[in-house]
Structure 1
Amino acid sequence: MTDTDAAPAVFTGPPKAPGGTNRRAWTVTALLVVFMMINFADKSVLGLAADEIREDLGLSASAFGLASSAFFLLFSVSGAAVGLLADRIRPKWLLLAMAVLWSVAQAPMAAGGGLAVLITSRVLLGAAEGPAFPVAQQATLSWFPNHRRNLPGALIVLGITLGVLVAAPVLTWVIQHHGWRSAVAAVALAGLVWALLWLLLGGEGPYAGAPAGSGDGTGAAAGTGSGAPLRRMPYRRILATRTWIGATAAYFGTYWIIAFALVWLPSYLQDALGYTSAGSTRLVMLVWGLGGVVVLGQAGLTGWLLRRGTSSRWARGGVGGVLLLIGAAACLTLPAAPAGAMTALLLVAGFGLAGAMSSIAVTTVTELVPADRRGGSLGIMNAVVTTAGLIAPTLIGRLVDGHGAEGYRYAVLITGVVLLLSGAAALTLIDPARDARRLSV
């Protein structure tokens, strides 16, 4: 590894943005939004083609849930490992490698094979995609100071929503007319096209070496302005802060919802609630569409609160916690609601409001930790959070096999409890200013 490949480890003063940086910042952000779109199109294929795959391969609900959870077998481990690596190797090259590996991992599944090929392909895909979100956020936020990070951070999360919104109708059409393996091939090709564009246009910004806090020289790890090297802060101190724990617990609830929605929501709508395939697709798009609106709305509200002097404890932790609690109330009410419009409303609210915590958790941790510990801190957070993707699909599959359509009811109630605990964690534990002071001692 050469010096030019290494990520900055120390802060040497406020970064000075070169001319044209603002335009480049938004170009890189746009590319990374597309990156996350492809990432979640990859993830959504199995959920959109669940019935076709189960029929084609002769799978029970439990076996399909296991195959879906296999995606997350190495997802968390690779997320933590590459997150730590991102503190030493430029995110540009890590992101390029991920995109290429996505496409390679999906080639066997697109070509043919049975359950073994499906599981192996998903395990490899999960390993390649595990670090995607934290490293994409790290690269994006390196172009912006702290007070301007809410919008670009939210746009990366919006890429998740847009990926599903685009994938739902497009991949459903491909699946119906050309088969589910063709849909897998399509998203693999999209990954290769993105990799070429990123190689030409991607990179990191002038705030890659800025310390925790405002992004301009203040915060827990800020130096004296003399350019003297700073002692690296141990990860154990960061991971022991109430803010990191609270953000991680809150984000876990969001990822539980994501895993449920990606793998089982279409089947839940059709098998338990009686929607047609077309009706199910429309409702899935509505859920993810609301999620996108909420993410952008949260970014605007949080930015407004921060500019008015509201602490991050309330501007970030408070907003995210309240949204999770509303989602929890909707999920806990949903199983007892009468069929029809009320069911659809509660489902959209329960599954659509929780997504904002993805952005909030990242910007909160980025605010708290020094620059040379951001990649690892975000990667480890993502590793813990994405265990929800390992647990939820398998658990729901077993509930469905054991209780039929009633199993979905139990799954929604469990989801409500998870969101309730996550929202409480956000409200009671997140306080970056308090923990930054403690880290600076």
Structure 2
Amino acid sequence: MTDIDVAPAVPAGPPKAPSRTRRRAWTVTVLLVVFMMINFADKSVLGLAAEEIRQDLGLSASAFGLASSAFFLLFSVSGAAVGLLADRVRPKWLLLIMAVLWSVSQAPLAVGGGLAVLIASRVLLGAAEGPAYPVAQQTTLSWFPNHRRNLPGALIVLGITLGVLVAAPVLTWLITHHGWRSAVAAVALAGVVWTLLWIPFGGEGPYAAMSDSGSPAEAASDDRMDTSRGTGAETAREAQAQMPYRRILATRTWIGVTTGYFSTYWVIAFALVWLPSYLQDGLGYSSATSTQLLMLFWGLSGILVLAQAALTGWMLRRGIASRRARGWVGGGLLLTSGVSCLALPAAPAGAVTVVLLIAAFGLAGAMGSIAATAIMELAPAHRRGGALGFMNAVVTTAGLIAPTLIGSLVDTHGPGGYQYAVLITGGLLLVGGTAAVTLIDPARDARLLSG
């Protein structure tokens, strides 16, 4: 039996949600895209102002790497804890509290302080931002059935790219003309503005309490909102609500998406903290050229995320199993990114280096949306927050390890340390891509969980 045999196609004319519901769904999605933009603008400040901060505070590369990694000290723990909480508390209020804490945590650093204030600010900010991605995905995808989730899920990931694309020129200008603390103040203010918009317009969607069977057809039938289920269905829902998280975390799909997404997050941490310095100190590009390359990298990464969403959605609507539509597509991109990383240190300077850089740091990003939609397809409705939170907790340990390790390599080997960092990154991407291709199969594992 082939994958196509076990994945029924979507009916020709599934009922459409009311237009008011659709407008609300996309309003919430846009707000959460902006939420992720601010989230990654917060993260990117240190990378964009790396040289200025190191000179101002007199930090070595290792000390700066440690300060950057401090952001992730509580990031993973809070991601798991709030993920569990999101199965019991309305995500709307969790997102609101997060955004408020982002601004509060950065206010002291915007005013003054040295290394101690920098580390304390980043630890608190990391604790507040740790749950942001899984809760934002959970909230956004609660407005859409399974076969319609690829685009909104990809847009949340696109918020990462847009955050850096918007932040890079604006924050760089602020850093150059008004100092790096003004950039910290700007992103703190952005969090306040977003909070004021989220209070009246934010919320969860009609699919928040509905489990997917793993097939687009059954997900589409949820549009009917038929609550007249039999006693057997009610018993099944009760069993799903009591399902231990360990059963979900032991599935091949959860392990596969978590491994693949870990390698993606390693790339993100590398790019946010050390890629600007790598381009200038490791590859010899000027500051202006480095900024242009960063914009190109993040821009193409965003385009690729949308292209992946379109391809995956098209495959699912044609009845192709999510093992291929999600696992093979995401894994293939990670493998290509890994090969590009391994080839980068030996590449001749010029166009070849630029192409490999774009492939190495740009292709892996699509795995973020694939991981979220695969977990939403796999997990019962009342266990999605925890499943996403635990995944994010494991994945984001890459952000704790990567900046410190790369900083240590640079201190030990000078600019040559970046080459070792790129090779390590390539190896991790190959492992992540292999896990995604061989392990991800949400439909199969959802059936096993429901059995």
Q: Does 1:183 align with 2:193?
A: no
Q: Deviations over 1:87-108 (max 9, x none)?
A: 0000000000000000000011
Amino acid paired to 2:136 = A
Structure 2 counterparts to residues 303-342 of structure 1, below 5 A: 303-342=313-352
Q: What is aligned with 1:6?
A: none
Q: Deviations over 1:325-348 (max 9, x none)?
A: 000010000000011111111011
Q: What is aligned with 1:430?
A: 440
Query: SS of the counterpart of 2:364?
Result: coil
CA contact (8 A) 1:162 1:292 kept: yes
Q: What is aligned with 1:62?
A: 62
Amino acid paired to 2:250 = A
Q: What is aligned with 2:159?
A: 159
Q: What is aligned with 1:387?
A: 397
Q: Does 1:145 align with 2:149?
A: no
Q: Deviations over 1:348-377 (max 9, x none)?
A: 110000000000000001001111000000
Report the Cα distance in structure 2 between the residues aligned to 1:400 and 1:223, rounded to whole angstroms: 60
Q: What is aligned with 1:228?
A: 234
Q: Deviations over 1:394-435 (max 9, x none)?
A: 000000000000000000000000000000000010011211
Q: Does 1:249 align with 2:238?
A: no
Unaligned runs of 5+ in 1: 1-13
Q: 1:296 aligns with which of 281, 284, 306?
A: 306
Q: Does 1:400 align with 2:410?
A: yes
Report the Cα distance in structure 1 between the residues aligned to 2:387 and 2:446, rounded to whole angstroms: 14
Unaligned runs of 5+ in 2: 1-13
* CA pair 86-217 structure 1, distance change in 2 beyond 3 A: farther
Q: What is aligned with 1:357?
A: 367
Q: What is aligned with 1:29?
A: 29
Greater CA deviation, 310-319 or 19-28? 19-28
CA contact (8 A) 1:80 1:383 kept: yes
Q: Deviations over 1:181-208 (max 9, x none)?
A: 0000000000000000000110111111
Please give the TM-score of this superposition, normalised by the length of structure 2. 0.92
State the number of aligned residues. Answer: 425
Q: Deviations over 1:278-336 (max 9, x none)?
A: 11111111111111011000000000111111100000000000000000010000000
Q: What is aligned with 1:276?
A: 286
CA contact (8 A) 2:147 2:220 kept: no
Greater CA deviation, 224-233 or 125-134? 224-233
Q: What is aligned with 2:172?
A: 172
Q: What is aligned with 1:4?
A: none
Q: Offset of 1:212 from its aligned partner?
A: 2.7
Report the Cα distance in structure 2 between the residues aligned to 1:296 and 1:198, rounded to whole angstroms: 25
Q: What is aligned with 2:9?
A: none
CA contact (8 A) 1:153 1:359 kept: yes
Q: Offset of 1:216 from its aligned partner?
A: 5.4
Q: What is aligned with 1:9?
A: none
Please give the TM-score of this superposition, normalised by the length of structure 1. 0.94
Report the Cα distance in structure 2 between the residues aligned to 1:224 and 1:297, rounded to whole angstroms: 39
Query: SS of the counterpart of 1:59?
Result: coil
The structure in which a higher percent of residues are helix is: 2
Report the Cα distance in structure 2 between the residues aligned to 1:34 and 1:383, rounded to whole angstroms: 22
Q: Offset of 1:15 from its aligned partner?
A: 11
CA contact (8 A) 1:328 1:417 kept: yes
Query: SS of the counterpart of 2:206?
Result: coil
Amino acid paired to 1:228 = E
Q: What is aligned with 1:206?
A: 206
Amino acid paired to 2:229 = G
Amino acid paired to 2:48 = L
Greater CA deviation, 336-345 or 182-191? 336-345
Q: Offset of 1:19 from its aligned partner?
A: 5.2
Report the Cα distance in structure 1 between the residues aligned to 2:259 and 2:221, rounded to whole angstroms: 29
Percentage of pairs with the same residue: 77
Q: Offset of 1:228 from its aligned partner?
A: 2.1
